[in-house]
Amino acid sequence: MATQQEKAYCVLRFEVSKSIVTVCREFRVRFQKEAPYENNIRRWYRQFVDSGCLCKGKSSGRPHVPHADVERVRETYQRSTRKSLQLANDSNNYIFQQDGAPPHFHSIVRGLLDLVLPQRWIGRAAGEDAPLLWWPPRSLDITPCDFFLWWYVKDMVYVPPLPQSLQDLQNRINRAVETITPEMLQRVWQVFDYRIDVCRVTKGAHIEAL
């Protein structure tokens, strides 16, 4: 029987590759065991898309967060002296990118980004939003944070012994990001340019092994 970690791995890899064969091959390499059946992988994926979780039993859907709770979090964040100082110090030093997932596209999330980071966020947008760049949804193949950064950092962070605390995890992430060199970023840009060309040629069709 597959563990929750193994199910999550299958769902994530299927979301990226859209290939059961690829998922099974990578699963065997990672976990050193036989991969789950295709029907199971597809069922877990549908369950996650429909409910937002891989929990046993029926789910009532994605968690609902009352608007009042969202507003309270927003006000607390804006009142935080430490956060305000950090934003002031970093005001021109970074761009924030979303990946277009449904929770990221919620009007409350986009409204907060427009308020805190006007013209300094990249993502799926609509209407009167003020992103730096509009980004297409489900575009893992051309999103550097997906095809490079996430996998690079994850491979450096989740090595035995695994992080034992949140602070340990944060420290590992910081150290991993600090190892990224300008030469690596230049290479990422070249790969990005190549992927854009492939998308143009295929008119946006899925590429099995881009």
- Residue located via tokens 């992080």: 163
Average pLDDT over residues 157-186: 91
pLDDT category of residue 100 using cuts at 50, 70 and 90: confident
What is the reported pLDDT for 52?
Answer: 62
Q: What b-and-e string marks burial along 4-24, b requiring 16 or more CB atoms within 10 Å of the CB?
A: eebbebbbebbebbeebeebb
Confidence of residue 57 (pLDDT cuts 50, 70, 90): low
Question: What pLDDT score was predicted for residue 102?
Answer: 80
Q: Give Cα separations from 205 to 80, 136, 157, 195, 208 (angstroms).
A: 45, 13, 33, 12, 10
- The answer to whether the beta carbons of residues 169 and 157 sit under 8 Å apart is yes
Domains of the chain, residue spans: 4-51, 67-134, 140-202
pLDDT of 66: 53
Distance separating alpha carbons of residues 145 and 153, to the nearest angstrom: 10
Are 124 and 105 in contact by the 8 Å Cβ rule? The answer is: yes
Residue 142 gets which letter from DSSP?
G
Residue 153: the pLDDT is 92
Place of tokens 């789910």: 59
pLDDT at 82: 52
pLDDT class of 176 with cuts at 50, 70, 90: very high
- At residue 76 the predicted structure's pLDDT band, cuts being 50, 70 and 90, is low
d(CA 34, CA 25): 9
